[in-house]
Structure 1
Amino acid sequence: MSNNKKTKTRALGAIKYSLALLLCLLATGVPRAFADEIPSRVAVQGFVKAEPGRLNLLMRIPMDSVGEAGLPLRGSVGYLIFSEARDDLEEIAGNRILQSIQMFEGDRLLDNPRIDAVRVSLPSSRAFVDYESALANVRSAPLADDVDLYYRQGFLDVLASYPVDSVSSRFSIDARLGGLGLETTTVLRYIVDDGSERTFSYIGNPGRVYLDPRWYQAVFNFIALGFDHILEGADHLLFLFCLLIPLRRVGALIPVVTSFTIAHSITLIASALGWVPSAIWFPSLIETLIALSIVYMALENIVGVKQRHRWMVTFCFGLVHGFGFSFLLTESMQFAGSHLVMSLLAFNLGVEFGQILVLVLMVPVIHLLFKYALPERIGVILLSALVAHWAWHWMAERFVGFMAYDLSLPALDRYFFAGLLQWGALLALSLGVLWLMQGLFDRYFTPSDDSGRAG
């Protein structure tokens, strides 16, 4: 055989081998890849209810998030065989669901949960509208085997119970179900003794959630929440940084920081009382104004304006930042239980702790920078220009998002005039506080003329 024929034969053999390998991969690997694929969005529903001697946990998990997991299937498509699936469903419930959930009675971890019932429900099932309907559904007979349901469709309903000492105990849950999807949203409803529901809605893994927190648990959680928020909010930190660049003396810092604190406390409380527009464009407007406040303060630093009344400008922008704080607080008030006022004050206290930490860390750093690295005036201009450039891009992007909303005039109905009265009351309160602060600051914190310019 010539060399050309040998080469062609080897090439043909390699092609046949590659095709055979590809067919094997298609037959075995691809279905497994699809079976193990993580869904992008998962919605989990749950109920928690205490009964004598037990704490019931009733969950609804999309089948799309649990995969095949050895379930009995029929047909080439992969329809579930419901009459043979109970053991496998219980294994999924125990290994995939309950192992990711920790229940507490007080501070005691509840272990050894018992799986009382499992059931696959159709995608059209609306059984989880209330606890009694969901309980009846999970305890009902399984679907008939002639129902064609693809194994990645429908819901897995699970009823588990934990032994407890008392129905009146304080319970909490740490449900780490965020891994079920790229974004997992959980809606958990706690049935209180009087039959009312307390609803919690969160994304990912929020940590330990107290279903009926004591006052000190709510206070501690909201202090930590406010502290984390000020440290994680880049826009709030940049605003504080702009205030600190030209002002590093205690006498100059106290009026500015105090006015910012009082101002954002006013709008934070007003937001908690519902004195904010319900329009969907309002958060976008506030985020745009927050970026504008950073740009303005940075430009003041660059121009070198007098600092005598800078606390007034800071007060006005502090009102805007308070609305920004309130958006997170509004979402988190669900974790306050019956301690709404204390949680609100604790959140504000956490924000102040975060601001104090920023002041303690930033003031010495800026002082050393201007003392050893940059002349003060050049340093003020350079740092402020960098901040202004950064904030300008934020403002432009947020303004584009704000203008995408429908900004048509509201209807002149009773809701409009009620909101107008609330805004009038808020404005009057702010002006009154501003007047009191002016008298206080003019008396105790009047800066001298030679130190009244930024930089």
Structure 2
Amino acid sequence: MSDRLRNILLVSVTAFLIVSAVASQAHFLLNLNVRIFHVEHTNDGLRIFMRVPMPYLVADKTGEPIEGGLPSAAPFTTNAFEDGRVVHFVDPAEIAVDPLGLGQISETGTVLMARETHVPGSVEYVALHRVGEEPGFATLNEAKHAVSQGSTLKDNPLAYVGDVVVDTVINYNFGHAPSAYTLSSLLNPGLPDQDMTANLILDYGVSDPLVFRTRGLMKDPIEVSRSRMAGIVTFVWEGVRHILEGIDHVLFVVCLVIGAHGLHALLWRVTGFTVGHSVTLSLGFFGYVPSGAWFVPFVETGIALSIIYAAFLAVLEGGSDIDSNRKVFVITVLMGLLHGLGFSFVLHEILQVTSPNIWQSLLAFNVGVEVGQLAIVLVTWPLLSLFARFGPTPEMSLRVSIAIGCGTIASWWTFVRGKDFLEMLLSQI
């Protein structure tokens, strides 16, 4: 391989890492938009208990600016200027006149089909709650209890639309009890990061509840059947997506791989990371961690620092003996503990502790993380092996180039996330 070609490859790898970092975001922020669907089987069809953030129902329904510069309000909302920007409030008067109106929007935007047959739904209940004050909605019983209470949203003070969730019960009469069906959504509110919407579908058939997980606006129908494996696969896929779309996790695993001198050393490193993040993924999800607002930016800062340290280790000429491997194993376990907390933040947004089959979903998500990690290894390790064929110098040049790129990106993250952590910590004093 010529020096020119090798330099082009090294620059390309570094540029790819930098471009990827620009698009990255703190992963625990990506799954704040959550929609939950509890599907109850009845003698003649299906009944859905759904919880949807109100902006999904009305954000695309504002009109053109009218007198004073305000757009005409979306249904069941009012508009006002606040600090020079337009804000949207829930309109309690319009809801009192048409209490099922928001439910009709939900029904129109929800497509339920069984045996390729679509029937319109009948809205039975609608309840509104302020975020942070909403009743539990993790199980079918909790959902039934929530709608039986009615709306808990107070008329005074007015609530911002973005601070409200809407619970809706829709009955679909198919004339029979379908064992399999598809669920999709026509809603396209035009919200930021709406493609990262977390959708949780819980199906209650003749046996234990099954849990399905998907991301996005659900334009493509989600097939729901009585296959337990089908539900598990959705959580495995979510774990894969999370690690591959979380650039900080990708860079950390890449640094682990480029620092391994031989397959045996690689096994020690990957195993250590797996052990560490598996422990804190469970502990973090079940709440055995600090609950202060400072904790998330603290963990995110720690993850960035772990990438810098992993990049530093990658360029050291470490040994490949058992003692060296054991030391690296301990280090990667400790780093894995940090990353596991990061994984738990996103999982906690989409799955509650009281959800059915919680251990099954938790294990499937963790398996998905491992599959994603393996995919990174299978891409990075052959690249190193290719360069190794041309001698130790090209291989080391590639290691150093990647390590510098990862370390530089992580240094910027450390600054930004560390600043957020300090600001959050000082605000608590």
**Residue in structure 2 matching 1:205, options 217, 222, 230:** 217
Separation (CA, whole Å) in 1 of partners of 2:371 and 2:33: 36
**Mapped pair 1:405 → 2:424:** yes
Contact 1:215 1:342 in 2 (8 A): no
Contact 2:213 2:231 in 1 (8 A): no
State the superposition RMSD in angstroms. Answer: 5.1
Deviation, 1:350, is 1.2
Aligned to 1:447: none
**Residue in structure 2 matching 1:131, options 125, 128, 147:** 147
Which amino acid counterpart does residue 310 of structure 1 have in structure 2? V
Which amino acid counterpart does residue 266 of structure 2 have in structure 1? L
Separation (CA, whole Å) in 1 of partners of 2:278 and 2:352: 20
**Residue in structure 2 matching 1:339, options 329, 334, 357:** 357
Aligned to 1:297: 310
Which amino acid counterpart does residue 375 of structure 1 have in structure 2? P
Aligned to 1:175: 185
Deviation, 1:303, is 4.2
Deviation, 1:192, is 7.3
Helix, strand or coil: the match of 2:356? Answer: coil
Deviation, 1:290, is 0.8
Separation (CA, whole Å) in 2 of partners of 1:344 and 1:42: 20
What is the CA deviation profile of residues 228-276 of structure 1, one whole-angstrom value per residue up to 9, with x for unaligned ones?
1121111111111111113252122111111111111111122233211
Helix, strand or coil: the match of 2:383? Answer: helix
Aligned to 1:66: 61
Aligned to 1:317: 335
Aligned to 1:103: 112
Separation (CA, whole Å) in 2 of partners of 1:210 and 1:335: 25
What is the CA deviation profile of residues 326-345 of structure 1, one whole-angstrom value per residue up to 9, with x for unaligned ones?
11221232599521111111
In 2 relative to 1, CA 338–68 (structure 1 residues): closer, same or farther, beyond 3 Å?
same
**Residue in structure 1 matching 2:174, options 154, 157, 164:** 164
Separation (CA, whole Å) in 2 of partners of 1:276 and 1:346: 22
Which amino acid counterpart does residue 111 of structure 1 have in structure 2? H
Contact 1:302 1:385 in 2 (8 A): no
Aligned to 2:262: 249
Separation (CA, whole Å) in 2 of partners of 1:155 and 1:278: 23
In 2 relative to 1, CA 210–329 (structure 1 residues): closer, same or farther, beyond 3 Å?
farther
Aligned to 1:282: 295
Aligned to 2:285: 272
Separation (CA, whole Å) in 1 of partners of 2:371 and 2:420: 32
Deviation, 1:102, is 2.1
Aligned to 1:3: none
**Mapped pair 1:112 → 2:119:** yes
Tell me the percent identity.
26
Which amino acid counterpart does residue 281 of structure 1 have in structure 2? W
Separation (CA, whole Å) in 2 of partners of 1:249 and 1:155: 53
Helix, strand or coil: the match of 1:179? Answer: coil
Aligned to 2:369: 351
Aligned to 1:391: 410
What is the CA deviation profile of residues 79-109 of structure 1, one whole-angstrom value per residue up to 9, with x for unaligned ones?
99x9xxx9xx99x998x7545422255xx45
Deviation, 1:378, is 3.1
In 2 relative to 1, CA 50–388 (structure 1 residues): closer, same or farther, beyond 3 Å?
same
Deviation, 1:375, is 2.4
Helix, strand or coil: the match of 2:315? Answer: helix
In structure 2, list runs of 5 or more residues that go unmatched: 1-31, 65-71, 76-92, 135-142, 152-163
In structure 1, list runs of 5 or more residues that go unmatched: 1-40, 70-76, 136-153, 411-455
Which amino acid counterpart does residue 162 of structure 1 have in structure 2? Y
Deviation, 1:369, is 3.0
Deviation, 1:111, is 0.5
Which amino acid counterpart does residue 387 of structure 1 have in structure 2? C
Helix, strand or coil: the match of 1:405? Answer: helix
Helix, strand or coil: the match of 2:290? Answer: coil
Contact 1:227 1:352 in 2 (8 A): yes
Aligned to 2:237: 224
* TM-score, scaled to structure 2: 0.60
Separation (CA, whole Å) in 2 of partners of 1:401 and 1:328: 19
Separation (CA, whole Å) in 2 of partners of 1:273 and 1:351: 18
- Name the structure, 1 or 2, with higher relative contact order (CA <8 Å, separation 6+): 2
* TM-score, scaled to structure 1: 0.57
In 2 relative to 1, CA 322–56 (structure 1 residues): closer, same or farther, beyond 3 Å?
closer
Deviation, 1:402, is 0.7
